[in-house]
Structure 1
Amino acid sequence: MDHDTPLPARPPLPLDGVRLRVLTTRQLREHGVGGADAADRCRPGGPWQQLLPGVFLLHPGPPTSEERLHAALLYTAYRPQGVPSQSRRAGRAAGPGPYGEVMITGLAALALRRFAAAPPLLSLDRIGVLVPRTRRLRSTGFVQVVRAVELPEPQEATGVPVAPVERALADAVAQLGEPVAVRRLLTEAVRGGHCDAGAAMRELGRARLLTRPHVVDAVDTLVAEGRALAETALYAMVRGHRLPEPVWNVELRAAGGPSLGGVDAYWPEQAVAVEIDVRSPCAEADADAVRLDRARRRQLLERLGITVVQLSPVKLREAAEQQAAVVRTALMAADDRDPAAYVVVMPR
């Protein structure tokens, strides 16, 4: 053969059914492409490139944001062989698609949910992927491996498995050191109805982030934001379901005695009080003391003949009609109870 004769072109691969031009070494083998052939195609100037260990992009040029996400999930994909997944052990369905239990988390997950405070996907240096703690897998390239003792149930955003908002927030905050950025993310999460303040704070507490200086001020803003939204939801519930108008945000005092604490709404004639359970962050060691103090205060009010109804922000937002029925039942039951002790009602 003449040495100047060009080599014959490789026959096209049968990849017409591949939606994204991102495949793993195993998937390429299934299409008849061995490791040496794949490496040859990834040489400088070649038609392919290796994005991550064992993950190939089947075109030259930069990957799209969708291809980066797909590559990150394929790199970390894992489903135990012959062992029920953590999701299944908890009675849940396993993660969607070929990725098994892993899911996108952190800023990338928030960007997929269209958070205005999250940077665009293509501008992120790292894409966080949540994996089981026992996985022997290292962060590499644009993939940040985030380990979890117990994986949450994955949700879906734009067809990609993502961590629940509160978990994605905690993983994002763990990587951020700028107070303004943290505050914007937390505020948008609550104000936009993505999650309630209590769920976000519980996840931040689990991740041991509540004591970080750049998180403290942001959490104070989060608590205030959550309370304001819950109060607005309570007003809407009372008026939208035509409950009698209460007195709002008052402090109750025993006649000639000490303060009995504040309530968010109070019906003096029926002696019914509503408290919104928006919990401020506290150290784990103080949590039991806080719960005990609330229980004692509620018992004191009930001994005085005052019915206390506790409502959570989540229930006010997602089950307002049901919560209105609970309050209405308490108001109607007032006629069947002994008269309550006299208390002083003061604005707070």
Structure 2
Amino acid sequence: GRRAAPARPGGTDPAYGEAMVTGLAALSLHGFAAAPPAVSLDRIDVLVPRARRLRSVRYAHLVRTPELPEPEVLDGLPVAPVARALADAVAGIGDAFVVRRLLTEAVRDGHCEPAVVVGELTRAKILGHPQVVDAVDSLLAEGRALAEERLYGLVRGYDLPEPLWNVDLRLPGGPHLGGVDAYWPEEAVALELDTRAPRYGRPDDGRRQEEHEAEWSAYAARREHLERLGVTVVHLSPRKLRDAPEQQAVVVRTALMAAASREPAAYVMVLPR
């Protein structure tokens, strides 16, 4: 499980200078079960500024970066944040199974959100590597499942009316309007978790980029269509569900209460999906 970082009384110990543990050793210090114990590793990845004139030695492999992230202090050591440590670790791992375990654990155990991990993998220019591509799909699926659990907890923990869960909306005799994560038919309020995959892929992967552009366009068009029919669409992000659930409960409750003062929505059929 995740080990909480102790408070930093005055920031990083100056004795360490501009350097921090990253890669598998950092993930071990963060409490990753899928990472081997730091003491068992043949080498430790150390993140340093690109401009520093340092050399790797037998047990310390230097990873150079133009800009250092803010470290956390774990077991008295400055350690790279999880997403950065993941990217540095994955860059040196060729086993797709190990990569998948690490990425999945990062999201499942609440270390960081999928979009943050994808951003770091993109920065490291390893998102298109074969052992990473499928693992990212697993990462996004794990993030979606976790967000759904948080949404169920939000509705029940803050005494919101019980919605119809995971349904498709359709006009009678008309087109399919799309699926939503929750729907309150009396108030005509739909809720969608914004767990779309970030725009990732190789810079030259035009087909994948086109697919993502099409997905985002369809997403926006569906929302606009529902709102033209009088259906209020509430979007919640996984991060906000995690960090500010009370605020998100207020957003949903406000949308439900506002239904009384709106024009009646068009009738839509609600089907299980």
TM-score for both structures, normalised by structure 2: 0.87
**Residue of structure 1 equivalent to 2:240:** 315
Shifted more, 250-259 versus 232-241: the winner is 250-259
CA-to-partner distance for each residue in 1:31-70, whole Å, 9 max, x for gaps?
Answer: xxxxxxxxxxxxxxxxxxxxxxxxxxxxxxxxxxxxxxxx
Name the structure 2 match of 1:164. 81
The alpha carbon displacement at 1:205 in A equals 2.3
Which position in structure 2 is the counterpart of 1:343?
Answer: 268
CA positional deviation for 1:318: 2.0
Distance across 2 between alignment mates of 1:199 and 1:250: 29
Change (3 A) 1:208 1:252: farther
1:300 to 213, 216, 225: 225
Separation of aligned partners in 2, 1:313 and 1:155:
23
In the alignment, structure 2 segments of 5+ residues that lack a partner are 1-9, 204-208
Contact 2:171 2:267 (C-alpha < 8 Å) held by counterparts = yes
Equivalence for 2:153: 236
Structure 1 vs Structure 2 CA RMSD: 2.0
Contact 1:277 1:312 in 2 (8 A): yes
The one-letter code matched in structure 1 to 2:240 is K
Instruction: Check the 8 A contact 2:12/2:73 in 1, yes or no.
Output: no
Query: How far has the Cα of 1:174 moved from its partner?
Result: 0.7
Maintained 8 Å contact 2:50/2:66: yes
Contact kept, 8 Å, 1:95 with 1:102, in 2: the verdict is no
Please say which of residues 321-330 and 294-303 is displaced more in the overlay.
Answer: 294-303
Asked whether the 8 Å contact 2:170–2:269 carries over to 1, the reply is: yes
Question: 1:187 is paired with a residue of what secondary structure?
Answer: helix
Alpha-carbon deviation of 1:290? 4.1
- Counterpart of 2:189 in structure 1: which amino acid? V
| 1:98–1:130 CA distance, 2 compared to 1 (3 A) | same
1:126 correspondence with 2:32: no
**CA 322–179 in structure 1, closer or farther in 2 if over 3 Å, else same:** same
Q: Residues 289 and 140 (structure 1 numbering): CA distance in 2 closer, same or farther, change over 3 Å?
A: farther
Q: After superposition, what is the alpha-carbon deviation per residue over 1:80-115, rounded to whole angstroms, capped at 9, x for unaligned?
A: xxxxxxxxxxxxx97443333322111011111121
Q: Distance in 2 between matches of 1:159 and 1:302?
A: 53
Count, aligned residues: 256
In structure 1, which of residues 148, 161, 164 is the aligned counterpart of residue 65 of structure 2?
148
Aligned match of 2:169: 252
Q: Could you tell me how far apart the structure 2 residues matched to 1:142 and 1:166 are? A: 23
Pairing 1:269–2:194 present: no
What is the alpha-carbon distance in structure 2 between the residues aligned to residue 208 and residue 344 of structure 1?
45
Cα 1:147–1:294 shift into 2, 3 Å = farther
AA matched with 1:183: R
Q: Quick check: 1:265–1:275 contact (8 Å CA) kept in 2?
A: yes
What TM-score results when the alignment is normalised by the length of structure 1?
A: 0.69
